[in-house]
Amino acid sequence: MSADLLLAVDGLEKRFGALKATDGLDLEVRTGEIHALIGPNGAGKSTLMKQLSGEMKPDAGRILFRGADITYATAPRRARLGIARSYQITSIFPDYTVLENVATAVQMRMTGGAGILRRAKGDADIEEPALKLIERVGLSGAHDRLASALAHGQQRQLECAMALALEPSLLLLDEPMAGMGPQESAIMVELLRGLRGQVTTLLVEHDMDAVFSLADRITVLVYGKAIATGSPDEIRNNPAVREAYLGEEADAS
C-alpha cells in the first residue's frame, strides 16, 4: 500500500434482502485530495458513507484507514481515529447556540478525564478553537444564535464546522449542498475549496458544477459498484460513465 493512501475500501458488500446496496466495491482515497463520489439515485452512496463512518456494518469486504483494518470499528472509535462526517439531513443540536454546537464538538475531540468537570460556558480552551472554526465556515457574527433559528444553508455551514472541530484526517461530506440556493452553494464551494490540501475529503454531491470544479478525483458509483475513477477530465470523457450516468443526468436537466 502506498504511503499517500489514506482510505482503502476492498470488496465491500452490503445487502438488504435481495438488494445489493454495496456490491463488491473498491475505492481508494489519497491523503490531501478532495475525492468526489457521484452516481444516480439508489447507487448506494449514502449506504457507503454509513459503512465508512461506522453507523452500518458491512456484510463482507474490508475498510482500511491508514493501513489499519477498521471494518468493524464502532462509530465513536472511528471518530477518535480521525474520521468525521456531516449529514445529508442536517444533524445538529437545535437547542444549542452555534457556539455551543461547535464547542461541544471541540470538547469531544479533547475528551479528557479532568476537563469534563470544568464549566463549559466561557471556557477558552474549547470556545477559542470553536470561534475560529465558526469564522472559517463563514458564520462569524451568528455564534450567539440558536442553531434551530439558522437558515438551512447556515445550518450546513455549522455542520461543516462541527465536523472540522474533530480535526479529522478524513472528512466524509454527505451532500453538503442539498437544498441550498445558488448563493449558499457558492459559499459552501468556497469553504470546501479552502480545505483542499488540509483535510482529505470524501464528498457525495449531486451538484455537478460543484463536483467538477472542486474534486481532484471522482469515483462513479452505479448499483453499488465503482465503474470508474479518475480526474474530472477523465470522468467527463469516459464513455461508460457518460452512458450510465451523465447522459441520464443531462436528460433529466
Partner 1 sequence: MPDGFLRIVTLALVVLALFFPLLAEAGGSAYLVPSASRILIYALAAVSLNLLVGYTGLVSLGHAAYLGVGAYVVGILSFHAVEGSTIFGLPGTVEGLVSIPLAILFSALVALVLGALCLRTSGIYFIMITLAFAQMMFFITVSLERYGGDDGLFMYAGPNRLGPLDLSSEWTFFYVCLAVLFAFLLFCRYLVGTRFGRALGAIRQNEARMITLGCNVYRYKLAIFVIAGAGAGLAGALLANQASYVSPDVLHWTRSGELLFMVILGGSGTLLGPVFGAVAFLLLEEYLPVLFDAAGLELLKEHWRIVFGPLLIIVMLFNRRGLYGLLAGRPRQ
Q: Does 66 bind partner 1 (CB under 8 A)?
A: no
- Separation of alpha carbons 20 and 216, rounded Å: 28
- Separation of alpha carbons 28 and 50, rounded Å: 17
Q: Does 92 bind partner 1 (CB under 8 A)?
A: yes
Cα Dmax for the chain: 59
- Separation of alpha carbons 159 and 179, rounded Å: 14
Q: Does 181 bind partner 1 (CB under 8 A)?
A: no
Distance of closest approach, residue 173 Cβ to partner 1, in angstroms: 13
Distance of closest approach, residue 249 Cβ to partner 1, in angstroms: 30
Q: Which one, 132 or 145, has the nearer CB to partner 1?
A: 145
Distance of closest approach, residue 76 Cβ to partner 1, in angstroms: 5
Residues between 132 and 151 with contacts to partner 1, criterion CB under 8 A: 146, 149
Helices (H), 120-181: 124-136, 152-165
End-to-end CA distance of the chain: 40
Q: Which one, 91 or 198, has the nearer CB to partner 1?
A: 91
Instruction: Pick the stretch among 76-84, 188-196, 206-214, 245-253 that binds partner 1 (CB under 8 A).
Output: 76-84
- 167 residue type, one letter: E
- Separation of alpha carbons 3 and 175, rounded Å: 29
Q: How far is CA 207 from CA 77, 232, 247, in A?
A: 31, 14, 15
What is the pattern of x (binds partner 1, CB under 8 A) and - over residues 114-133?
-xxxxxxx-x--x-------
Q: Running DSSP on this structure, what letter comes out for residue 216? A: S
| Binding site residues, partner 1, CB under 8 A | 53-55, 75-76, 79-80, 84-85, 87, 91-96, 100, 103-105, 107-109, 111, 115-121, 123, 126, 146, 149, 162, 166
